[in-house]
Structure 1
Amino acid sequence: MKRVAIMGVGSLGTIMGAIISKNGGHVDLIDSNKAHIDALNKEGATVTGKMNLKNIPVNALLPEDMEGIYDIIILLLKQTYNDVAIKQLLPHIGPNSVVCTLQNGVPEESVSEMIGAERVIGGTVGWGATWIAPGISELTSDVSCIRVDIGEQDGSITNRLKEVQEVLKMAGECVIVDNLLGIRWSKLIQNATLSGMSAALGCTYAEILDNDKAAAAAAWVGNEMCKIVRKRGIVLEDLVPGWSYYALEFSDKAGLEKSIQWLRDYFKPHRPLKASMLQDMEKRRKCEIDQIVGTPCKWGAKLSIPTPTCQTIVDIVKDFESGKISMPTMDCLDRFHLESL
C-alpha cells in the first residue's frame, strides 16, 4: 500500500482527507496548526455546508511528527508557506516520491526548483471551501463540483498520474489532462482579474463589476496576461465549457467593452465573493499576491511585455503589507492609469 499524505490541511485539505478516509483510503493529514490537528485526532473531521459528514476518523500529524518516506504527497497549503513546508517534507521524499501541487498560481515552477522537476506533477481544484474551526470545514460548492484536474508538466500521460488519480478519485472526480499549463494559466487569469482587483480595492466582485473603471482594469489584467500566454505558446483551456479567457484579448475600445461585458456575465454567479487574498489581508496574514498577480508581472518582465495593471495591483497590496497604506478601498482606483484606446 502506498503511503499518502496531504500537506496543508486547511479547508480543502480537511474535506479531501475526510472524504478519502470515509471511503476507506489511508492518508496522513499534515498541518502546523496544533489545535486543528488535535481536534482532528480527537473528534475526527467534520464537513458542513453542501456536505454533511460528522466526526470522520482521520490520522492527523504535525510536520515534526512525520516518519519515513511518502510515495504520494498532495500539496494543499498556500504557496506563502512553501519554503517552510518543503524543507519539512524533504526528509520524507524518496527518489520515486511524487509531489502533486494543488495550489493557486503556477506552483510547479518553484516547487520543482526545491525538490526537482522529476518529482513534481500539478493540478487544479474546481471547488471551494471555508475553514470553520479546528476539525471543521464547510464545503461551499455543490458536491457535483468536487473535481480535480491533474497533469505532468510536459503534458505526457504517465503511470504515476494514474496512481495519484486513484487516490484523488476517492474524494471526487479526478481527470488526467495533457495541457496542465493551459489550465493553470486559465485559472491564473481567473484569479488575477477579479481576485486581484478585489484585493487591491478591498471589495467584493460585485463592486468591481458594477464600477466601470474597476471592471475595465480587470479586463486589462486579462489582456496583459493573454499577451504573455500568446508569446509563450500556451493554449488556454476553458474552465467552464464555452467560456474562453481569450475573450479578454482586445486592441480597441470596442474590444475592451466586450471584455468588460464578458467578465460581468462570467462572474455573475460569484458577485458576493471577495478574494481569499483580501480575507488574508483582513486577518493580517501574508497573501498570495506574488504567486497570483506577481506571476504575470514576472513573465512580462522576462518577455518584455508591459503589465502595468497587474503591477499596480501588486504595488497596492505590497504597500498595505508594509504599512504604507491602511486596508485598500475603492479610492485605490485612482492609482490605475489605464491605457487609452
Structure 2
Amino acid sequence: MSDPILIWGAGAIGGTLGAAFIRTGHEVVFVDNVPEHVTEMNEFGLRIVGPIFEDTVRAKAFLPADLIGQFETIFLCVKALHTDAAARDLLPHVAPNGVVVSAQNGLNELVIADIIGRDRTMGCFVNFGADFLEPGIVTFGGRGAVVIGELDGSTTERLVALHKLLLDFEPDAVLTSNIWGYLWGKLVYGALLFATALTNDSIADALADPAYRAVLTDLGREVGAVAKAEGIATEAFNGFDPGAFVPGASQAQIDNSFDEMVVHNRKSTKSHSGIWRDLAVRKRQTEAQDQLGPIVDAGRRNGVQTPLTARLIAMIREMETGQRTFSPDNMTVLASAGTVAVA
C-alpha cells in the first residue's frame, strides 16, 4: 500500500481508521474542516478513547485549503451531506492512478463517481461504533462490519491491497463483489436508526421495545422493497438481516433480525446513533435528506411508494429546526403516515 494515506474527514470514522493505520506503521495525513480539531491534532495528536484501544497518535493535519500534493490512497469520511463539496475540494489532490474510498453512510459512491470519476472511486461499508467527542478526541466504542468492493464487482489489485490495509483495522474485514448489496442493506438499517433518533431511547432499547416494532418493521420493509425493485441482493452484517425486510419475509425472520440487532448494539459503548448525537448534542443538521432521500427517489423511479421514509425525513427536519422534540409519541406520528404493501 502506497503511503501516505490521506484521510479526508478526521471525525468518528476517519479518525478511528486513520489512528488504526498509524498504529500499524502507515503514514497518514488528515484533512478536516474544523480548525480547532486540526490545531489539536497538530499540537497534541489525535486521541482515541474507548474499550477497543486507547492511544494518542501523531500525524500531520490540514484544513482543506491548506493541503498540498496528490495522493494515491484516499479515504473520504465526511457526512453524506458534505460529500459533494468535499469531493470537489478533494479532486485536485487525487493522483491520476489514485482511488477514493467512500468510508461513509449512504450511497455517496454515486456522488463521488460523478465528480472524481467512476474508475477512481471504490465502495466501502462500515458499521463500527465511533463518535467525535471534541477537538482532538474520538471514541471508538464498538467493533462492526467493514467491507470494501469495486463498484462494478470486479476483483482488482488495488482492491486486494486496500482490503489488506483494512485488515490492519478490522481482522474480519470483507472483500466483496457485491458492495451495493451491503450499502443498500445498511440503508435499511440506517432508516431504522433514524427512526430511533426520534426518541431519547438508546438504539438497543428502541429496537427492543415491542411498542415500536410494527412501525419499524413497516419502515424496513419499505426500504427493502425499493432495494428489491432496484435489483439489489442485500447483504447481512453484524446479525442484521436486511433480507428479513423484503416482501415475503416471515415474521420469524423479522423478529430474529431485531433481536440480533439488539444484542449487537448492547455490546457497544456507543449507546445512541450519530443521528441522535447530531440532534441532541451537536445541534446540527443530520444526514437524513442525503441518506434517506435517495431511497425516496429510487422508489419513485421504480413505482414503489415510500410514505414512511418521506415522513421520517420531514420529522427529522422538524427536529433539526426545533419544531419537534424527542418523544416516544413520535413513533406514533411516524406510523400515521401509513405504508403500502408491495408484492
The TM-score by the shorter chain falls in which range? 0.7 to 0.9
Aligned partner of 2:306 in structure 1 is 307
- Offset at residue 298 of structure 1 (A): 1.5
How do residues 289-308 of structure 1 correspond to structure 2 at under 5 angstroms? 289-308=288-307
Q: How far apart are 1:175 and its partner, in Å?
A: 2.7
1:84 is matched with: 85
1:205-263 deviations in Å (ceiling 9; x for gaps): 3553455452211111111122122222211112136x5322223569xx4x5465235
1:158 aligned to 156, 174, 177, which one?
156
Structure 1 vs Structure 2 CA RMSD: 2.4
Calculate the TM-score normalised by the size of structure 1: 0.88
Q: Output the CA distance in 1 between the equivalents of 2:184 and 2:339.
A: 24
Rounded to whole Å, the distance in 2 between the matches of 1:133 and 1:22 is: 21
After TM superposition, give the deviation of residue 312 of structure 1 in Å.
1.4
Q: Is the 8 A contact 2:3 2:26 kept in 1?
A: no
Letter in 2 for 1:326: R
TM-score, with length taken from structure 2: 0.88
Q: Is the contact made by 1:215 and 1:260 (CA closer than 8 Å) also made in structure 2?
A: no
SS in 2 for 1:98: strand
- Displacement of 1:84 in angstroms is 2.5
Q: Residues of 2 paired with 1:224 and 1:246: CA distance?
A: 12
2:242 corresponds to = 245
Cα drift, residue 170 of structure 1 = 3.3
Structure 1 residue 136, shift from structure 2 partner = 2.1
**Alpha-carbon displacement from aligned partner over 1:42-92 (angstroms, at most 9, x marks no partner):** 222222212444332222222122111111110111112223322221221
1:335 is displaced (CA, Å) by 4.2
Q: Deviations over 1:182-214 (max 9, x none)?
A: 111111111112x12113345433553455452
2:224, 2:247 within 8 Å by CA — same for their partners in 1?
no
Query: CA 1:182–1:306 in 2, change beyond 3 Å: closer, same or farther?
Result: same
The partner residue of 1:267 within 261, 268, 291 is 261
1:156-182 Cα deviation digits (max 9, x unpaired):
011221232343333333432100011
Quote the Cα distance in structure 2 between the aligned partners of 1:206 and 1:170: 29
Whole-angstrom distance in 1 between the partners of 2:57 and 2:229: 48
Is 2:305–2:340's contact at 8 Å kept on the other side of the alignment? no
Post-superposition CA distance 1:131-166 (Å, at most 9, x none): 233222222115xx5x52110111001122123234
Report the counterpart of residue 175 of structure 1 in structure 2.
174
Residue ranges of structure 1 left out of the alignment (5+ in a row): none
**Contact (CA 8 Å) 2:208, 2:259: kept in 1 or not?**
no
202-211 or 47-56, which deviates more: 202-211
Across the two proteins, how many residue pairs are aligned to each other? 332
SS of the counterpart of 2:197?
helix
Pick from 210, 217, 223 the counterpart of residue 221 of structure 2: 223
**Mapped partners of 1:262, 1:297: distance in 2:** 27
Asked if residue 236 in structure 1 is aligned to residue 234 in structure 2, the reply is yes
Show the counterpart of 2:190: 191
Q: Deviations over 1:101-159 (max 9, x none)?
A: 010011111111222212110111131112233222222115xx5x5211011100112
Out of 257, 272, 276, the position equivalent to 2:274 is 276
